[in-house]
Chains A and B, each alone.
Chain A
Amino acid sequence: MSASMQEIAERKYKYGFTTDIAMEEFPRGLSEDIIRLISAKKNEPEWMLEWRLKAYAYWLRIEEPDWAHVKHPPIDYQDLYYYAAPAKEAPKSLDEVDPELLKTYEKLGIPLNERAALAGVAVDAVFDSVSVATTFREMLSKAGVIFCPISEAVREHPELVKKYLGSVVPVRDNYFAALNSAVFSDGSFVYIPKGVRCPMELSTYFRINARNTGQFERTLIIADDDATVSYLEGCTAPMRDENQLHAAVVELVAMENAKIKYSTVQNWYPGDENGKGGIYNFVTKRGACLGKNSKISWTQVETGSAITWKYPSCVLSGENSVGEFYSVAVTNNHQQADTGTKMIHLGRNTTSTIISKGISAGKSDNTYRGLVKIAASASGARNFTQCDSLLIGDQCGAHTVPYIESRNASAKVEHEATTSKIAEDQLFYCRSRGLSEEDAVGLIVNGFCKDVLKELPMEFAVEAQKLLSVSLEGSVG
């Protein structure tokens, strides 16, 4: 690659650098021994190891799902590393974190030094298989909020973990959830006690660095009665020629009157313009609105990954509970996305809103797949769904696959979907005002996505807008 080509490539994906740091890796491949090693490494109690082994036994028996509108060569699960972590002992405080890691996160725009950190955002930084730092912990614990790596929660708060881990996404939920349950190595744990409004935004920043390593993080967020929390998630990875697997599980639990807002800006390495490399992002995210009047809101901006397979969902059990899903998914070059949501209405007067904006460019395929299910018990339930697709160029595909199932006569379900392209006259209008074609596309696409972007916390919204424009670079002209 010539110097200028390098420059262009890096402009397109500016998080593609690697961090050179001594790593501890377990041998390649997956076996009971590897799971025992992971569990031992984390000093886990016996019950946790058993839980993992059961998940593994189940995973061995089932097949990878094939219903999504995506194609990829078979994944050799024995060719992956399931654990990779910086070799140094886990730091006791932020001051002990390896300077090389601090530098990495600084470069990613996530300073871990509390003095330099974004005001009002606490960060858990996950590097390959482990959490390397969590900021503002003391301040949060004064408010009674627990925000720590999940490996620590397993040891320090076993009663909460035992009760809720796997309660929303059961081990047997699906192939990747079972795999994650067997081998998850870290992720974040959040508990907001009764009546507490979390004093700052919580955030986890996931970074895959090591080669041939799968990242299997597990996040569990519990908002007790009357609690409120806003949680952000960001992700990046180096540019590598081989595909890497990221199979996460996120579980949210909202009790009475609790509110959880979960925002994701997913910017894993998407592969190059020929479709080489990139992350396989196979993620299971689900929230349970257990209590009356609880609310779970998912907002996602998906621009990265070679393949995205994720359906952040809400199970609305509590009376009057609310589920929301706001999504922007952009695919360019050879990217494939099959993403959407499931809204399962069980309780009375539950409401859900789905706003999905899919943008396909290049030779990519972008699918919205969603389920709205109204159970017989969900009297007075309401759903509104709007999914719009935008095509840029005639080599890409945009697909909409909604499933709508209603078993309650008093429920009301409305669904609308459109597919369109950027109109020539819109482009020309912008260009006649001096915008380049790419800027014009960026502007129009941002307008198309506005209903979703406005749901993001402010710090993220600006970043997301830039990301949209960058992701579509080279898609016109």
Chain B
Amino acid sequence: MPGWKLRNMVALPTNKLEAWRYTDLAPLSTLSFAQAPQATAPALPALDMPRLVFVNGVFAGGLSSSLDFAAPFAAGAEDSALPLALLNAGLARDGVVLNVPDGVDAGTILLFAQATATEPFAAHLRHRVTLGQGARLTIIDIAKGDGVYWHNPVTDIALAPGAQLAHYRLQDESREAFNTATIKAEIAAGAVYEHFTATIGARLSRTEIHATLRGEQASAQLSAAQLLTGEQHGDFTSVVAHKAPNCPSRQTVKSVLSGLARGVFQGRIEVDRIAQKTDGYQMSRALLLSPHAEMDIKPELQIYADDVKCSHGATIGTLDENQLFYLRSRGIPEDEARALLIRAFLDEALEPVRQEDAKELLEAAIETWWTRQ
């Protein structure tokens, strides 16, 4: 449908919806979308691991590894009421289905989405990741591109008892692009979903995670680092629903904002009546480096069980004056002292990332961002 406009097709969520209070998709609705252009070969990161590559919204078989647990895209109905996931369900034409059998450790794979736009286009990839009992998988999930485009991927995750999925995302899109990623994870007893997103690119982006803990000792460890500058807008929204007793969950977000950037963190812990002994925690820390940056935080607790340990903490501010003074009193110039403290803050943000390749990749991305500042 060349030339179609979103606002003519669907009702995008507006700020009037509580879940979209801080992120306005208006700039997206005025775009006129063309057909995705022919794929060109992207520059792939030098990572020695099996990979699945998508270019301009289409699976690039020639660039991808053959995996015995991967199957082609399968269309399916959307069971949530999330507006962008519903839109994706209607428009998705490609994606991948990963199915790791019981007890198999499938190692680490790269999921790479590249977009090169001459005219604005939209890509709605739909992925399904299913891990059998005790299965393991690590996904390094990278999105990159040039020009104006909209990536609106949805990933459905189902983890059987004892399964472990580590999901490391680097959102390094074109600075004119839009990225709205929805991830829904169903986590059974003893299974662990570990998620990290580094938000560096895109003019406007949102990562929205809905993790549901279905059995005892199911765990969701969700974290993000948002490094935003210029007029970028980055939103990390996560909802962890505790629907079984004895489950731990973490939601931690670190944001560094300069220029006119705006960062958003909306976190929610929902504890059902039966989810006793829940251990839920949310933390958001934000550094504002310029007088015009903005951070909006909504860390929410919704609790219906009494024997739980839930807490959240949030801070927004600039660098600590005492620390700055201490460094300077030891002879370090102010600029250097600032740089030192900001780097320390960012390094800390990467702590949850344990896989070595992912860590190196993300460190390099942060380094690049930092030297651009």
Interface, chain A (partner B; CB < 8 A): 67, 374, 376, 389, 391-421
**A396 shortest CB reach to chain B, Å:** 7
Which of chain B's residues have a CB closer than 8 A to the CB of A406?
Answer: 286, 288, 294-296, 316-317
> Are B311's CB and A405's CB within 8 A?
no
B126-149 with Cβ < 8 A to chain A:
none
> Are B293's CB and A391's CB within 8 A?
no
> Are B302's CB and A409's CB within 8 A?
no
**B23 shortest CB reach to chain A, Å:** 13
Answer yes or no: B313 CB below 8 A from chain A CBs.
yes
> Are B314's CB and A401's CB within 8 A?
no
**A165 shortest CB reach to chain B, Å:** 30
Which of chain B's residues have a CB closer than 8 A to the CB of A398?
Answer: 301, 303
Answer yes or no: B299 CB below 8 A from chain A CBs.
yes
**A92 shortest CB reach to chain B, Å:** 53
> Are B310's CB and A405's CB within 8 A?
no
Answer yes or no: B367 CB below 8 A from chain A CBs.
no
> Are A397's CB and B311's CB within 8 A?
no
> Are A392's CB and B306's CB within 8 A?
yes
Which of chain A's residues have a CB closer than 8 A to the CB of B18?
Answer: 67
Q: In the complex, A414 Cα to B317 Cα: how many Å?
A: 9
Which of chain A's residues have a CB closer than 8 A to the CB of B302?
Answer: 397, 399
Q: In the complex, A418 Cα to B318 Cα: how many Å?
A: 25
> Are A402's CB and B298's CB within 8 A?
yes
> Are B312's CB and A405's CB within 8 A?
no
Answer yes or no: B309 CB below 8 A from chain A CBs.
yes
> Are A407's CB and B314's CB within 8 A?
no
> Are B312's CB and A417's CB within 8 A?
yes
Q: In the complex, A257 Cα to B296 Cα: how many Å?
A: 31
Which of chain B's residues have a CB closer than 8 A to the CB of A389?
Answer: 301, 303
Q: Bin chain B's interface residue count.
A: 35 or more
> Are B314's CB and A413's CB within 8 A?
yes
Answer yes or no: B290 CB below 8 A from chain A CBs.
yes
> Are A397's CB and B303's CB within 8 A?
yes
Residue from B292, B306, B310 having most chain A Cβ neighbours under 10 A: B306
Q: In the complex, A437 Cα to B307 Cα: how many Å?
A: 18
Our pick among A396, A401, A411 for the contact of B317 (Cβ within 8 Å) is A411
> Are A416's CB and B294's CB within 8 A?
no
Which of chain A's residues have a CB closer than 8 A to the CB of B304?
Answer: 396-397
Answer yes or no: B207 CB below 8 A from chain A CBs.
no
Contact A418:B310 (CB < 8 A) given known A391-B303, A409-B288: yes
Answer yes or no: B240 CB below 8 A from chain A CBs.
no
Our pick among B290, B298, B303 for the contact of A399 (Cβ within 8 Å) is B303
Contact A409:B306 (CB < 8 A) given known A394-B276, A403-B298, A414-B314: no
> Are A404's CB and B303's CB within 8 A?
no
> Are A417's CB and B311's CB within 8 A?
yes
> Are A415's CB and B315's CB within 8 A?
yes
Which of chain B's residues have a CB closer than 8 A to the CB of A401?
Answer: 298, 300
> Are A413's CB and B315's CB within 8 A?
yes
> Are A404's CB and B311's CB within 8 A?
no
**A334 shortest CB reach to chain B, Å:** 15
B65-95 with Cβ < 8 A to chain A:
none
Q: In the complex, A415 Cα to B298 Cα: how many Å?
A: 11
Q: In the complex, A399 Cα to B300 Cα: how many Å?
A: 7
Answer yes or no: B289 CB below 8 A from chain A CBs.
yes
Q: CB-nearest residue of chain B relative to A385?
A: B314
Q: CB-nearest residue of chain A relative to B311?
A: A418
**B19 shortest CB reach to chain A, Å:** 12
Between A and B, 21 residue pairs with Cβ closer than 8 Å are: A376-B292, A391-B308, A392-B306, A394-B305, A394-B306, A394-B307, A399-B302, A399-B303, A400-B299, A405-B294, A406-B288, A406-B317, A409-B288, A412-B315, A414-B313, A415-B297, A415-B312, A415-B313, A419-B308, A420-B308, A421-B308
**A239 shortest CB reach to chain B, Å:** 29
Answer yes or no: B7 CB below 8 A from chain A CBs.
no
Q: CB-nearest residue of chain A relative to B287?
A: A409
> Are A411's CB and B292's CB within 8 A?
no
Interface, chain B (partner A; CB < 8 A): 18, 273, 276, 286, 288-318
**B21 shortest CB reach to chain A, Å:** 8
> Are A419's CB and B303's CB within 8 A?
yes
> Are B293's CB and A409's CB within 8 A?
yes
Which of chain A's residues have a CB closer than 8 A to the CB of B298?
Answer: 401-404
**A402 shortest CB reach to chain B, Å:** 6
**A361 shortest CB reach to chain B, Å:** 10
> Are B299's CB and A415's CB within 8 A?
yes
Q: CB-nearest residue of chain A relative to B291?
A: A409
Q: In the complex, A409 Cα to B256 Cα: how many Å?
A: 11
**B287 shortest CB reach to chain A, Å:** 8
Q: CB-nearest residue of chain A relative to B262?
A: A407
Residue from A393, A405, A414 having most chain B Cβ neighbours under 10 A: A405
Residue from A395, A409, A410, A418 having most chain B Cβ neighbours under 10 A: A409
> Are B301's CB and A412's CB within 8 A?
no
**B153 shortest CB reach to chain A, Å:** 28
Q: CB-nearest residue of chain B relative to A394?
A: B306
Which of chain A's residues have a CB closer than 8 A to the CB of B299?
Answer: 400, 402, 404, 415, 417
Our pick among B292, B315, B318 for the contact of A410 (Cβ within 8 Å) is B318
Known: A399-B302, A418-B311, A419-B301. 4 other contacts (CB 8 A): A409-B288, A413-B314, A417-B299, A421-B307
Residue from A67, A403, A404 having most chain B Cβ neighbours under 10 A: A404
**B340 shortest CB reach to chain A, Å:** 18
> Are B291's CB and A376's CB within 8 A?
yes
> Are A396's CB and B306's CB within 8 A?
yes
**A211 shortest CB reach to chain B, Å:** 35
Which of chain A's residues have a CB closer than 8 A to the CB of B305?
Answer: 391, 394
**B115 shortest CB reach to chain A, Å:** 32
**B219 shortest CB reach to chain A, Å:** 19
> Are B315's CB and A409's CB within 8 A?
no
Contact A412:B316 (CB < 8 A) given known A402-B298, A417-B299: yes
Which of chain B's residues have a CB closer than 8 A to the CB of A67?
Answer: 18
> Are A393's CB and B301's CB within 8 A?
no
**A368 shortest CB reach to chain B, Å:** 9
Contact A411:B301 (CB < 8 A) given known A392-B306, A418-B310, A421-B307: no
Which of chain A's residues have a CB closer than 8 A to the CB of B289?
Answer: 409
Which of chain B's residues have a CB closer than 8 A to the CB of A403?
Answer: 296-298
Q: In the complex, A67 Cα to B276 Cα: how many Å?
A: 27
Q: In the complex, A183 Cα to B315 Cα: how many Å?
A: 43
Contact A411:B316 (CB < 8 A) given known A403-B296, A403-B298, A406-B288: yes
Q: In the complex, A404 Cα to B312 Cα: how many Å?
A: 13
Which of chain B's residues have a CB closer than 8 A to the CB of A393?
Answer: 306
Q: In the complex, A399 Cα to B276 Cα: how many Å?
A: 16
Q: CB-nearest residue of chain B relative to A424?
A: B307
**A290 shortest CB reach to chain B, Å:** 25
Q: In the complex, A394 Cα to B305 Cα: how many Å?
A: 5
Q: In the complex, A410 Cα to B303 Cα: how many Å?
A: 34
> Are B314's CB and A404's CB within 8 A?
yes
> Are A413's CB and B301's CB within 8 A?
no
Q: CB-nearest residue of chain A relative to B309?
A: A420
Q: CB-nearest residue of chain B relative to A390?
A: B306
Our pick among A376, A395, A416, A420 for the contact of B312 (Cβ within 8 Å) is A416
Q: In the complex, A137 Cα to B216 Cα: how many Å?
A: 65
> Are A412's CB and B317's CB within 8 A?
yes
Our pick among A394, A407, A417 for the contact of B301 (Cβ within 8 Å) is A417
